[in-house]
């Protein structure tokens, strides 16, 4: 079975600073990896995904993530945080093409002036 | 593209009544739809997976007779919470997949049972 660990349930950064949200996964087969963002009282919006091919994946709103198989990681980064980035971020994994997602516990990102 | 809608966005009902939540994929055909439940400040918990024209597959611990799921077409799935009780109050989110491995999520439905 696959699993996802998100280190840090809360991350706080200053506006303009680097955003780094950590995600490690466990899977016995090559995984598909996803990052979703959730704003209060809303559903999840897909930020980016890795399936195969290039390991550095660029997503919406300036976010990107790099799949590192040797480290079983898929950390999310953004060079410069904006106030509008404040939200809950979820890393997720699916395997075997079955579409079923396993989510991490989420990281609340706070952006301060 | 890949827009998923949910209706209603918010519902308040009395204990013992049933509530139906609709999930629609607006611009693609969803071979599979998923229903999740999310408690405050927690992650999403998968309740069930439904494929068009088939019975839903429920996760362990989810009562299939309480949470009725119907996936009658490639663009519509419904979740009915039967005989709702206060402990069923939660945020329910659906997602839809066209089979390419990516799920697209609806905006969620806030259910409050009095």
**pLDDT, tens digit, for every residue of A64-109?**
999 999 999 999 999 999 999 999 999 999 876 567 889 999 999 9
Q: What is the pLDDT of residue B2?
A: 84
Alpha-carbon torsion (A90, A76, A80, A54), positive or negative:
negative
Please give the full DSSP string across B35-52, using - where no structure is assigned. EEEE-TTS-EEEEEEEET
What rounded mean pLDDT belongs to chain B? Answer: 92
Å from A4 to nearest chain B CA? 12
Residue B80, Cβ density class (10 Å: 0-12 exposed, 13-18 middle, ≥19 buried):
middle
Q: What is the mean pLDDT of residues B37-41?
A: 87
Reply yes or no on whether the pLDDT at B1 is more than 70: no
- More confident: B42 or B114: B114
Strand A64-68 and strand A56-58: the pairing is: antiparallel
**pLDDT, tens digit, for every residue of A18-44?**
999 999 999 888 889 999 999 988 889
**Cβ separation of A99 and B32 shorter than 8 Å?**
yes
User: Does B8 sit behind a cis peptide bond, omega within 30 degrees of 0 on the bond before it?
Assistant: yes
Å from B10 to nearest chain A CA? 10
Q: Rounded to 10 degrees, what is the CA torsion of A20, A81, B40, A41?
A: -140
* Cα–Cα distance, B4 to A24 (Å, whole number): 28
- CB of B60 less than 8 A from some CB of A: no
**Cβ separation of B43 and A105 shorter than 8 Å?**
yes
With left for phi above 0 and alpha for psi between -120 and 50, is residue A55 left, alpha or beta? alpha
């Amino acid at each position: 079975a696959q699993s996802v660990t998100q280190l840090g349930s809360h991350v706080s950064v200053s506006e303009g600073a680097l955003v780094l949200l950590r995600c490690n996964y466990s899977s016995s087969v090559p995984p598909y990896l996803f990052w979703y963002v959730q704003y209060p009282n809303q559903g999840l919006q897909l930020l980016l995904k890795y399936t195969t091919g290039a390991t550095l994946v660029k997503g919406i709103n300036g976010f990107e993530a790099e799949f590192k198989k040797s480290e079983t990681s898929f950390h999310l980064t953004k060079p410069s945080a904006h106030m509008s980035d404040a939200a809950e971020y979820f890393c997720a994994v699916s395997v075997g093409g079955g579409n079923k997602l396993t989510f991490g516990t989420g990281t609340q990102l706070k952006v301060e002036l | 593209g890949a827009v998923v809608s949910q209706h209603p966005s918010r519902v308040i009902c009395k204990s013992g009544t049933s509530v139906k939540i609709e999930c629609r994929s607006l611009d693609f055909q969803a071979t599979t739809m998923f229903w999740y439940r999310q408690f405050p400040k927690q992650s999403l918990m998968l309740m069930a997976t439904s494929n068009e024209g088939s019975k839903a597959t429920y996760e362990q611990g989810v009562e299939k007779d309480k949470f009725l799921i119907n996936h009658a077409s490639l663009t519509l799935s419904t979740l009915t919470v039967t005989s709702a009780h206060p402990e069923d109050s939660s945020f329910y989110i659906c997602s839809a997949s066209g089979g390419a491995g990516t799920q697209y999520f609806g905006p969620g439905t806030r259910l409050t049972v009095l």
